Amino acid sequence: MIDPNKVYHVYPVKDLEEHYLECVYPVIGHPYCPCRCKAKFIQEGEALIVLHSSFDGREGLEWVKEILK
């Protein structure tokens, strides 16, 4: 069972849309985030990190910059 006090959202600021920063904790199964960005979960010890994708596609630009280095 995940402790809701140990859930951390990482999300882009100044994005095209607001991100939903609350998780849903079903009785059975893993919590989920209903944000439209299709956030991913990363388990770090007892903490759960909710990694939100941007709505403006900035990850793609960062990926291209890394390739060009």
> 6-20 pLDDT, tens per residue?
999 999 999 999 999
Label residue 53 by pLDDT band (50, 70, 90): very high
What is the predicted pLDDT for the residue at 66? Answer: 84
Tell me if 39 sits within 8 A of 51, measured CB to CB.
yes
Global pTM?
A: 0.77
Buried (b) or exposed (e) across 35-45, using 16+ Cβ within 10 A?
Answer: bebebeeeeee
Q: Is 19 exposed, middle or buried (0-12, 13-18, 19+ CB in 10 A)?
A: buried
